[in-house]
Homo-oligomer: A and B are copies of this chain.
């Protein structure tokens, strides 16, 4: 049944690109309340796409942005039931001045691998979710049905830590029951080598607000007599890592599982191009510490700490001799198995209290907290996906780790009791979260084919 579907995909590529562009034109930035109407518009657009394929689909409210949930019965009987997950929200486009085109005016430009789509969300996650969307559409067009039972769950808060995803999964637990969850939000090894991701880091995202004087002060009259919130905040943040890059929060590494010798050996055999990886970041040397470990090891199996933003005091042009009354920072941690976010939060809170200089206070607010995930390599669904990828790419799919965080994977396991297939098609230089984010049309096209092939494998299971 696959062949006509693949032909349909090949012949309909330009139409698929057209629909992808429509979705990219909707500026669905979840973190900024100003974009709220666009969030709703994106959810509506997705509902409108699913309904004609025979989905019973609607938009459900949450305490934040809505989710789109759709059901397709498939062929009935004991067909496999697949839960597709994707997110329709994107990162903010700033800094705007660094884009070559308008971030929400999707633009096809020529690159070394042919055409590429440049837009915010080109890959993350609109480009990736459109691949399984288009595979379902092609199957439906050719066969008037789908080969498996399908539930679709699309959220609008992945870029802000999936705050309301857990409540949604708990609330609709029975309705979302399935055999396996399929997600496209990860990377390939390179443009010709497909990959499945079996580990993901978790994410703890926090905000610190440091307060000192009751109002801004003149640093001449008060300098040396009062606690400056910027000095205090820098002191706490500067103490987070030691010279070797290790995070200095007591107990932070207590539950960290070291990768097995076998894993380390597998990773070494990948012969990762560290230079190329760094070059994709505009760098010639690594940084951030733990230099006794490889970059794969550091990003796949080690926790990290990044300050994502700091603001305080006078930041305009020129000089102002001010001691500001407050300053704030966004600080996030990537977590690995078996770190418990709640335990890390408590340790971080204690660390802040222990390091805050007298005369200032620091409040810690938790924005989101999700644990790391590790998917068993023995899963039959993983085998099916490997086979599907192998048939499209004529090359064996690799099993990779990933430094990023996809909360659905952990919660699908914990709440729905199912594994998640992380079958993604992005490349290291796609610039996710950066200006000029792009997605190769070649990846998009082969990704749709691979999702169709996966449907065929799951049909036979």
Contacts and interface: CB of A to CB of B under 8 A. Distances in A.
Given A216-B435, A281-B217, A334-B223, A323 B299 contact: no
Contacts of A310: 230, 233-234, 310-313, 315, 327
A283 B360 CA distance: 9
- Per assembly, the copies of the chain total 2
Given A288-B225, A306-B223, A214 B283 contact: yes
B223 A92 contact: no
Given A220-B405, A221-B432, A315-B310, A234 B237 contact: yes
A231 B159 contact: no
A235 interface: yes
Interface in A316-343: 316-325, 327-330, 332, 334
Interface in A210-227: 212-227
Nearest to A30: B318
Contacts of A221: 187, 299, 402-404, 428, 432
Interface stretch (A72-80, A170-178, A238-246, A261-269): A238-246
Which of A241, A278, A433 has the largest number of chain B CB atoms within 10 A?
A: A433
A225 B287 CA distance: 6
A390 interface: no
Given A159-B320, A359-B286, A224 B299 contact: yes
A33 interface: yes
Contact of A286 (B226, B305, B306, B403): B226
A54 interface: no
Interface string A347-360: 00000000001111
Interface string A288-320: 111100010011001111111111111111111
A296 to B, nearest CB: 9
Interface in A63-116: 91-92, 94-95, 98
A435 to B, nearest CB: 6
A287 B241 contact: no
Nearest to A279: B214
Contacts of A203: 220, 321
A241 B235 contact: yes
B283 A213 contact: yes
Contacts of A295: 225
A32 B159 CA distance: 36
Contacts of A299: 221-225
A199 interface: no
Contacts of A214: 281-283
A151 B308 CA distance: 53
Contacts of A434: 215-218
A308 B220 CA distance: 11
A348 to B, nearest CB: 15
A212 B201 CA distance: 23
A330 B313 contact: yes
A234 B307 contact: yes
Contacts of A20: none
Contacts of A290: 224
Contacts of A332: 219, 223, 319, 321
A187 to B, nearest CB: 8
Contacts of A315: 309-311, 328, 330
A230 B309 contact: yes
7 contacts: A214-B281, A223-B334, A228-B307, A231-B306, A245-B357, A286-B358, A320-B433
Given A92-B314, A219-B306, A308-B319, 4 more contacts: A227-B286, A230-B307, A231-B306, A233-B234
